[in-house]
Amino acid sequence: MPSPSAPDLDRFRERADRFIAELDEEYYLHYAGLKDTLDLAPIYERYSDLTDLEQAKTLGEIADDDWGIRELWRFASEGYLGQLTREQSEKVAELEASLVADVDGTKVPFRMLRPTIANEPDRDKREQLDRTRVELTEEHINPLYMEGVDVIRRAVGELGATDYAELYRSFGFRLEELASQCRALLDSTESLYEEAADKLFRGRIGVGLAEAKRWDVLRSFRAPQWDAQFPESRMMPALEATLSDLGIDLRSQQNVELDVERRPKKSPRAFCAPIEVPGRVVLVIQPMGGADDWRALFHEAGHTEHYANTSADLSMEQKRLGDVAVTEGWAMLMQHLTDDPAWLSKRLDFPRPQEFAEEGTTQLLYMVRRYCAKLLYELEFHQAEDIASQSSRYVDLLGDALKIEPAAADYLSDMDASFYVTGYLRSWAFEAQLRTYLKERYGSEWFTNREAGSLLRELWSLGMSQSADDMLRNVTGDEIEMDAVATLVRETLA
Ligand SMILES: [Zn+2]
């Protein structure tokens, strides 16, 4: 195949833009409860030329050091792999939506098992629910994941890489560098984690870290004792007031759609659908209240404002592709306001904000350690000869990091495609470093400062055109360091 000319590339960008817009709109309609079925196959078929093997390889040949073409190459390659495993993904989704667990005569839909465990005060019942979840995963879902893994392993070779990790290294992912930062973080925060997690679990569910089991984690993170502080009725007003302090009038943003209506089939979790960037960004929420719901709303509002403020003049890849740590970082910055004592006091007239902040920070440390271990595990997994033996590595690595043994059966479902785990890890560091900078420059109430708001809008207008590393360097002069998360956690827990 001859190399694509500039007009070919422009046509590719234009079609990719429509492809993503149609996918996002379909996801939006389905998960907002406006359309029963999720019909992705016809969209993939209409745009199959974008993600065929030849297309991906041709882009790979001309990518060299050109950031934009490398992003198009990654997009085509991920689309190619996604096409090949679409059947397995659809079957997994179908099973997850249709399997029903029978726990002592009580029927619980598979997807409701985790929320049910989180809301179950009785430890024995939690254990029973989780054991049933694991059995169903092992018996019905894992065989499909296994098929998918085989398909990906073969296809990665066709894309010219020895394994999945090598493919991502060629896209510019610095996996080993991040992994070594993760090892250092796991090491340096180990005793801090043991102490803080022990305190959190004892306080919330009366079980110390040494006795805690995996079914206790969801319950202790649920924290119903804080529900009264996070009422449903105040979610949207608190978000609007926070944005207003930063100079954004949410209700008058023409390109932001707020979907807050109640619908029976609407996803209970908030999400953001950037259907057109920046022309039509939808923030979807079915407010329920509770700390977790507030966190999710603010997180998705961070994505929403990032995409809605992105400059229309950027190229497709600068608006829609790029480094996910950037958009996740903006989402985390908004989300972490709901754990910030200064914000809680200012916005919610909150009792014991310091106590809540410490608990939130302990949960963050748990998540960061979990993702550090996940990255180490995923790197081993993708380079291992024998896949089945990896379930014991999963238990070892995650168990070591969290001091709570995970279920071996989750070793396939607990992996993210596209090394998304690196996006979250780097977004936590990016956010921690940026938040520290905002506090130093604008004070602990930076979120009420108009200048801070102007800076954020200016950075948001860059969309996805810079990596999180470049953006942080341009703003603060620093490199992204996982250790920054450890420093911030230590300060809060001190
Ligand atoms: Zn996110």
pLDDT at residue 267, rounded to an integer: 81
Is pLDDT above 90 for 349? no
pLDDT at 2: 64
Output the CA 128–ligand 1 centroid distance in Å.
31
Distance 325 CA to ligand 1 centre (A): 9
C-alpha torsion 53→55→60→65, nearest 10: -160
Mean pLDDT, residues 56-70: 93
User: Is pLDDT at 256 greater than 60 in this prediction?
Assistant: yes
107 pLDDT above the threshold of 70: yes
pLDDT greater than 70 at residue 13: yes
Asked if residue 93 has pLDDT above 90, the reply is: no
Q: What is the pLDDT of residues 439-486, one digit of tens each?
A: 999 999 999 999 999 999 999 999 999 999 999 999 999 999 999 999
Rounded to the nearest whole angstrom, what is the distance from the C-alpha of residue 75 to the centroid of ligand 1? Answer: 19
Distance 137 CA to ligand 1 centre (A): 25
Lowest mean pLDDT among 61-65, 336-340, 437-441: 61-65
**Mean per-residue pLDDT, 359-364:** 96
How much distance in Å is there from the Cα of 296 to the middle of ligand 1?
9
CA of 286 to the centre of ligand 1 (A): 17
Given pLDDT bands bounded at 50, 70 and 90, which one contains residue 64?
Answer: confident
What is the per-residue pLDDT across 18-61, written as a single tens digit (0 to 9) for each? Answer: 999 999 999 999 889 898 888 888 999 999 999 999 999 999 99
Give 243 Cα–ligand 1 centroid separation in angstroms: 18
Q: How far is the CA of 299 from the centre of ligand 1 (A)?
A: 6
* Structure confidence at residue 137 (pLDDT): 95
Mean pLDDT calculated for residue range 398-424: 96
**What mean pLDDT is reported for the chain?**
94
296 contacts: CB under 8 Å, gap ≥ 6: 269, 270, 285, 335
- Tell me how far apart the alpha carbons of residues 204 and 224 are, in angstroms, rounded to a whole number: 9
CA distance 68 to 470: 15
265 CA to middle of ligand 1, Å? 22
**Whole-number pLDDT of residue 1:** 56
Cα 424 to ligand 1 centre (Å) = 8
Q: How far is the CA of 368 from the centre of ligand 1 (A)?
A: 15
Residue for token digits 């953001």?
272
Binning pLDDT at 50, 70 and 90, where does residue 390 land?
Answer: very high
Question: What is the percentage of the chain residues whose pLDDT exceeds 70?
Answer: 100
> Which uninterrupted H or E stretch holds 280?
strand 280-284
CA of 312 to the centre of ligand 1 (A): 22
Predicted confidence at residue 304, as pLDDT, reads 98
157 CA to middle of ligand 1, Å?
Answer: 31
pLDDT at 41: 86
Separation of CA 62 and ligand 1 centre (Å): 31
State in Å: Cα 331 to ligand 1 middle: 6
Percentage of the chain modeled with pLDDT above 90: 85
Gap from CA of 328 to ligand 1 centroid (Å): 5
Mean pLDDT of 280-298: 93
What's the Cα-to-Cα distance from 445 to each of 156, 254, 403, 438, rounded to whole Å? 48, 28, 36, 9
In contact, 17 and 320? CB cutoff 8 Å: yes
In the predicted structure, residue 279 carries a pLDDT above the cut 60: yes
Would you call 468 helix, strand, or coil by DSSP?
helix
Please choose, from the candidates 256, 247, 303, the residue with its C-alpha nearest in 3D space to the C-alpha of residue 452: 247
pLDDT at residue number 263 = 87
Distance of CA 300 from the midpoint of ligand 1 (Å): 6
Give every CB contact of residue 145 below 8 A, 6+ residues apart in sequence: 88, 92, 412, 413
52/72 Cα distance (integer angstroms): 13
Angstrom distance (rounded) from CA 208 to CA 194: 10
Distance of CA 114 to the CA centre of its chain: 18
Q: How far is the CA of 327 from the centre of ligand 1 (A)?
A: 7
Phi, psi of 242 (to 5 degrees): -65, -45
Of the candidates 16, 82, 87, 32, the one whose C-alpha atom is nearest the C-alpha of residue 53 is: 82
Q: In 3D, which of 170, 176, 76, 150 has the Cα closest to residue 378?
A: 176
pLDDT band at 268 (very low <50, low <70, confident <90, very high): confident
pLDDT surpassing 90 at residue 179: yes
Please report the domains of the chain, with CATH numbers, ordered by start residue: 6-173 (no CATH), 177-493 (1.10.1370.30)
Q: Report the separation in Å between the CA atom of 262 and the middle of ligand 1, taken as the mean of its atom positions.
A: 22
Rounded distance from Cα 317 to ligand 1 centre (Å): 18
